[in-house]
Structure 1
Amino acid sequence: MHPRLIPALAAAALLAACASPPPPAPIDVRPNIPPPGGRCDAGPAQSAIGQNSTARNVEAARVAAGARMARTIRPGQMVTKEYDAERLNLDVDASGRIVAARCG
């Protein structure tokens, strides 16, 4: 091996060691949930009644209903009146417990 080649190879090895590895692929930690759906069916979401309105419980109710979106409605909260067949409405009491699940 040529003596001038050794320092060049050493420098290349050092530079290669400094290169950052590619970022890891994101991991989907959610359970196998179908993508946001369409038409809402509040029947399967009735199991959410009595539960706290945590993000996890609201999302589980939305998925169960097949709704594209969900909203929680607190006592006295002003809401729009338009009907949306793809939305699940979860009425909650003052303590945040779900008391009703309906589409619209």
Structure 2
Amino acid sequence: MTARTAGIILVLAAVPALSACATTASDAAPGPTSQVNHCQAAPGQAFIGQTASTQTGAAMLRATNAAEIRWVPPRTMVTMEFKYGRLTVGYDDAMTIASVACS
């Protein structure tokens, strides 16, 4: 077997393994047009200035119709990806809610 033949066999052997990592239309995440963002940030603005707590978070989820909440502590970096139905709540060192957004 020549080096070239061995190289071709190696490449062909790797193709099935690499194709398992590929994303197809059937397993890809739905695009923005197929998702509905039920989160409404406007009612959440009433919580700014309140103390961040489990109870406040539950009330915010109900008020904003969000599916989940992401608490953002002070001086914390967060990813900027948009996630439908997620409420992002920032608070300060005194645990006072400073920002509310659907993201």
- Give, in angstroms, the shift of residue 78 of structure 1: 2.4
Q: Alpha-carbon deviations, 1:11-68, whole Å to 9, x = none?
A: xxxxxxxxxxxxxxxxxxxxxxxxxxx6210111111111110100011111100000
Amino acid at match of 1:39: H
Report the Cα distance in structure 2 between the residues aligned to 1:93 and 1:78, rounded to whole angstroms: 14
Letter in 2 for 1:54: S
The percent of aligned pairs where both chains have the same amino acid is 31
Which 4+ runs in 1 deviate beyond 3 A?
A: none
> How well do the aligned residues superpose, as a CA RMSD in angstroms?
1.2
* Counterpart-to-counterpart distance in 1, 2:38 and 2:75: 27
Partner of 1:62: 61
1:36-55 map, 5 Å: 39-55=38-54
Q: Report the TM-score when normalising by structure 1.
A: 0.60
Find the counterpart in structure 1 of residue 72 from structure 2: 73
CA distance in 1, matches of 2:38, 2:86: 8
TM-score by length of 2: 0.61
Report how many residues are paired: 67
